[in-house]
């Protein structure tokens, strides 16, 4: 999918904004209404591109426009043209209504922002405008139980990324049930605020953000033709379907991952992963005889949970402290870990310490695999957003406070793609270099706001 950077500027005068109707001479979206839009040249500064387009398309000199606001970049996937538009919105104020449009447009109008819904526009023009102008001044107040659900997800230290994704979906369903909106527009706006809030709870866990993105995309699409009751029913059914898909994908991934384990292997894993635990269980039930080396995974010792579960099955387990993983890795046949996120470049985010094990495995010539589900693909890394690694309370590492000592408790690290032998998903083995193509196939089905 080709990425194209675009600036879209809205010109405001006396409470109205300027709309331009695209002519039949342009390459895309003929006859649709838009703001002042245009491509950004290579290495061109975004604001410069916005001012240049205003001058070209309206003949307004730069000294007659005043920048009011720059909005957050909006990704808009266009499956028809196989383009990902990366739209940077701006809001400018002008003091004249005397403009002249160029060949790209056949007509212009000054409208009230709230009247935009009545026009056939280029894709997501309303969402673009919302990034620089508040179209719905009525505040959205979140339900107390919804907020409590959000807080539980933030503070959770015992569950994995897939479970937390399911919990976020359940909170979204609760929000839908308790929403007191009386029309479709208010309902969608409320759910959008809820979804955005839930996405912020655990930003480094892609299954949470991806599941919510898939949910809201379908809600938003259905809102264009459905009634309020239909939307609430749809939300409930989509939550159930996505939750079931999370479970099914985990089991399918585990089955593929179990095929990596051979009779007589010694397998190392780090921390706790429901997918890895299921893969090891599947291999054991297939009659394979193997040993495991499990790291404790400090500071909360999730590896001990993995060790207990495997010992119940009868799988031989050696539990080691994290700092000795590099020593023990040379004596294993392969390393198999989970992943909380897979980035667009094929690298993985997983429990802190994973990168160190991967380095040692590479040095020892030991294969290093990650097993995860496609819902854990980090779409935002594809869009160029900075990766956020969670850092938690220092008291988990050291309860005592010592003057002059700053305790860091980083929960995750990034293991580069070059250290991975492969990534196992519900569809089988994927090469790290294939990740960009895999993510591009997901984009048209996701909310990227």
Strand-pair category, 266-269 with 105-111: unpaired
Tell me if residue 340 is catalytic: yes
Q: Do the beta carbons of residue 434 and residue 422 sit within 8 Å? A: no
Q: Examine the domain organization and report whether 259 and 378 are in the same domain.
A: yes
Is residue 135 assigned to a domain? no
Which of 135, 103, 120 shows the shortest CA–CA distance to 17?
135
Q: Examine the domain organization and report whether 295 and 345 are in the same domain.
A: yes
Q: Examine the domain organization and report whether 110 and 31 are in the same domain.
A: yes
Q: Give the CATH number for residue 91.
A: 3.90.79.10
- Could you tell me the sign of the dihedral formed by the alpha carbons of 177, 178, 180, 186, in that order? negative
Q: Examine the domain organization and report whether 167 and 32 are in the same domain.
A: no
Whole-angstrom distance, CA of residue 22 vs CA of residue 30: 5
Q: Examine the domain organization and report whether 357 and 321 are in the same domain.
A: yes
Whole-angstrom distance, CA of residue 117 vs CA of residue 296: 56
Q: Examine the domain organization and report whether 273 and 344 are in the same domain.
A: yes
Q: Give the CATH number for residue 247.
A: 1.20.120.420
| Residue 137 pLDDT > 60 | no
The pLDDT of residue 143 is 82
Is residue 188 assigned to a domain? yes
Of 215, 234, 251, which residue sits at a domain end? 251
Strand-pair category, 33-34 with 16-22: antiparallel
Is residue 137 assigned to a domain? no
Q: Examine the domain organization and report whether 284 and 415 are in the same domain.
A: yes
The CA–CA distances, whole Å, from 13 to 17, 97, 111 equal 6, 8, 10
DSSP for residue 370:
E
| Per-residue tokens: 272 | 């706790």
Mean pLDDT value across residues 390-418: 92
Pick the catalytic residue from 218, 220, 322, 340: 340
Q: Examine the domain organization and report whether 291 and 166 are in the same domain.
A: no
The residue range of the domain holding 359 is 254-445
Q: Examine the domain organization and report whether 262 and 391 are in the same domain.
A: yes
- The pLDDT tens digits for 335-360 are 999 998 999 999 999 999 999 999 99
Give residue 364's pLDDT band: very low, low, confident or very high (50, 70, 90). very high
The CA–CA distances, whole Å, from 112 to 12, 17, 164, 194 equal 10, 6, 42, 27
Whole-angstrom distance, CA of residue 376 vs CA of residue 160: 12
What is the three-class DSSP state of 126?
Answer: helix
The pLDDT of residue 161 is 80
Q: Give the CATH number for residue 268.
A: 3.40.50.10470
> Which residue carries 């790209």 as its tokens?
104
What is the three-class DSSP state of 383?
Answer: coil
Q: Examine the domain organization and report whether 34 and 107 are in the same domain.
A: yes
Whole-angstrom distance, CA of residue 134 vs CA of residue 54: 22
Prediction pTM value: 0.81
Strand-pair category, 334-337 with 266-269: parallel
The pLDDT of residue 138 is 63
- The pLDDT tens digits for 294-303 are 999 999 999 9
């Amino acid at each position: 999918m080709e990425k194209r950077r675009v600036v879209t500027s809205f010109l405001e005068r006396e409470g109205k904004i300027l709309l331009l109707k695209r002519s039949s001479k342009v390459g895309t979206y003929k006859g649709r209404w838009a703001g002042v839009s245009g491509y950004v040249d290579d290495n061109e500064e975004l604001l410069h591109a916005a001012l240049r387009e205003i001058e070209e398309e309206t003949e307004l000199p730069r000294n007659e426009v005043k920048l009011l606001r720059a909005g957050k970049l909006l990704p808009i996937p266009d499956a028809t043209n196989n383009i990902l538009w990366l739209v940077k919105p701006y809001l400018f104020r002008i003091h004249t209504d005397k403009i002249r449009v160029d060949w790209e447009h056949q007509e212009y109008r000054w409208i009230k922002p709230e009247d935009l819904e009545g026009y056939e526009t280029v894709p997501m023009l309303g969402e673009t405008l919302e990034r620089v102008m508040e179209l719905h001044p009525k505040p959205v107040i979140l339900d107390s139980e919804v907020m409590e659900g959000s807080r539980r997800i933030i503070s959770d230290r015992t569950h994995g990324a897939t479970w937390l994704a399911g919990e976020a979906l359940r909170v979204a369903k609760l929000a839908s049930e308790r929403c007191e909106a009386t029309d479709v527009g208010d309902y969608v706006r409320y759910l959008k605020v809820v979804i955005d809030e839930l996405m912020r709870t655990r930003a480094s866990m892609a299954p949470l953000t991806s599941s919510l993105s898939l949910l809201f995309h379908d809600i938003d699409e259905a809102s264009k033709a459905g009634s309020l009751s239909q939307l609430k029913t749809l939300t409930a059914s989509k939550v159930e379907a996505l939750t079931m898909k999370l479970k099914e994908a985990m089991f399918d991934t585990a089955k593929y991952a179990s095929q990596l384990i051979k009779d007589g292997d010694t397998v190392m894993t780090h921390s706790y992963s429901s997918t890895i635990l299921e893969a090891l269980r599947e291999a054991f039930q297939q009659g394979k005889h193997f040993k495991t080396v499990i790291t404790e995974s400090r500071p909360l010792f999730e590896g001990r949970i993995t060790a207990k579960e495997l010992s119940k099955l009868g799988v031989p387990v050696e539990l080691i402290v994290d700092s000795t993983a590099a020593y023990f890795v040379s004596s294993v046949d392969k390393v198999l870990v989970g992943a909380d996120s897979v980035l667009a470049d094929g690298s993985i985010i997983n429990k802190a310490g994973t990168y160190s094990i991967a380095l040692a495995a590479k040095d020892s010539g030991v294969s290093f695999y990650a097993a995860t589900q496609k819902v854990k693909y980090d779409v935002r890394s594809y869009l160029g957003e900075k990766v956020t690694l969670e850092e938690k309370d220092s008291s988990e590492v050291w309860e005592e406070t010592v003057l002059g000592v700053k305790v860091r408790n980083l929960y995750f690290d990034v293991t580069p793609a070059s250290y991975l032998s492969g990534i196992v998903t519900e569809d089988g083995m994927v090469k790290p270099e294939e990740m960009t193509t895999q993510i591009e196939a997901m984009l048209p089905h996701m909310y990227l706001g």
